[in-house]
Amino acid sequence: MPTVTKLVSEETVFFLCDVQTRFKNAIFGFDELVLAISKMLKIAKVLDIPVVVTEQNPKALGNTIPDIDLPSLGPLLLATIEKGLFSMATPEVKALLHERPQIKSVVLFGIESHVCVLQSALDFIEAGYNVHVIADGVSSCNKEEIPFALARIRQSGGYITTSESAAFQLQRDAGAPGFKSFSNVIKEEKDNTVRTLQKLLQYRAVL
């Protein structure tokens, strides 16, 4: 029997990669990307999932775009880490994960899919984590790069999913406590989900 990898909320951390102000006018579907990320952060709050944020050279590229409401995460925001390394697997991030041995799965979203997201995914896979990349939560300046980046991640053992699919995997049970809050987020985000899928997945082959 093949090993089946599932998302479990208690064993998962979200990674938000480099969605910074200077990228706003350069990234394909940036506004839709921000919508998908904002939805994932709402899911994090409902399901009590910690979040790590990185910023690539923020002195030059700015901080995380304020449309993404990081302060609302409260203690779930483990850290916002400045980096020069393209990968999110910096020494600071490795230390955060080492302190949390229960973490088995990393959920990745952000930019750029073929640079920082790809290199982060490869490093986390190599380190033994189950890596799930949100297909409607990543993008690049050139949209043509995206399917190749996702294919490379999948070839290396990562998992490609969507924001809503990952959310329901993490929720697992309609009878679980907090399902009403979860359901409310899904309903509130319905139109944004459609907009995001239509914009960001129209050029991506099913892998």
Q: Which value, in Å, is the radius of gyration of the alpha carbons in the chain?
A: 16
173 is catalytic: no
Residue 71 per-residue DSSP state: G
Residue 19's SS3 state is coil
Is-contact 33 24, C-beta < 8 A?
no
59 is catalytic: no
- Active-site annotation holder among 17, 18, 39, 42: 18
104 is catalytic: no
Of 123, 175, 166, 155, whose CA–CA distance to 17 is shortest?
Answer: 123
Is-contact 47 16, C-beta < 8 A?
no
Cis peptide before 112 (omega within 30 of 0): yes
The Cα–Cα gap between 9 and 204 comes to: 27
- Active-site annotation holder among 39, 83, 123, 199: 83
- Active-site annotation holder among 17, 39, 42, 116: 116
Written as six digits, the tokens of 133 are 């990349």
Catalytic residues: 18, 83, 116
